[in-house]
């Protein structure tokens, strides 16, 4: 795996953050199963709600290019260790339950987690799949 390259890409992408309101920069770098890296930064909006996190920016870039199989993501922010928000964790869960997550302080200092550790008992796509073998109006067993 390209862990060092992924961490460097996250640190670099943080520089591109558009944060005129909070001043809090976040960068992310997403590694696909075929070893492509997609980067993202947080992008704020004056009305706040449309603000997009770095993690989702990277994921949406990958998905818009047809990549939906992810191995790892590195995340770095202006605080010592910046963790993904709940919305980002749920978006990550949409594509991978076993995603490795690197919470990066700098090139040498980081913490490693799995998405299962950061989002236990999660709700994912398989929770919506109904048992089509039952005739009781698609009732789950």
* Centroid of chain to Cα 101: 8
Whether residue 13 is annotated as binding a ligand: the answer is no
Whether residue 43 is annotated as binding a ligand: the answer is yes
80 counts as catalytic: no
Sorted by sequence, the CB contacts under 8 Å of residue 49 that are 6+ apart come out as none
Whether residue 122 is annotated as binding a ligand: the answer is no
One of 5, 33, 55, 94 is an active-site residue; which one?
55
Whether residue 54 is annotated as binding a ligand: the answer is no
Whether residue 53 is annotated as binding a ligand: the answer is yes
Whether residue 64 is annotated as binding a ligand: the answer is no
- How far is Cα 3 from Cα 91, in angstroms, rounded to an integer? 21
| Phi, psi dihedrals of residue 125, rounded to the nearest 5° | -55, -35
Cα-only R_g, the chain: 17
**Binding site membership: which residues?**
42-48, 53, 85, 88
**Binding site membership for substrate: which residues?**
42-48
**Binding site membership for Zn(2+): which residues?**
53, 85, 88
Q: Which residues are catalytic?
A: 55
């Amino acid at each position: 795996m390209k862990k060092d390259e992924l961490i460097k890409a996250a640190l670099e992408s943080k520089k591109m953050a558009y944060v005129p309101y909070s001043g809090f920069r976040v960068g992310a770098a997403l590694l696909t199963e075929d070893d492509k890296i997609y980067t993202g930064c947080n992008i704020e909006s004056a009305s706040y709600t449309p603000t997009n996190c770095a993690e989702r920016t990277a994921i949406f870039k990958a998905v818009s290019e047809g990549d939906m199989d992810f191995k790892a993501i590195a995340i770095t922010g202006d605080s010592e260790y910046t963790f993904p928000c709940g919305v980002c964790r749920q978006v990550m869960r949409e594509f991978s339950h076993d995603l490795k997550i690197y919470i990066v302080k700098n090139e040498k200092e980081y913490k490693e987690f799995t998405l299962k550790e950061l989002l236990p008992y999660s709700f994912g796509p398989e929770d919506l799949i109904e048992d089509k073998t039952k005739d009781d109006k698609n009732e789950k067993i």
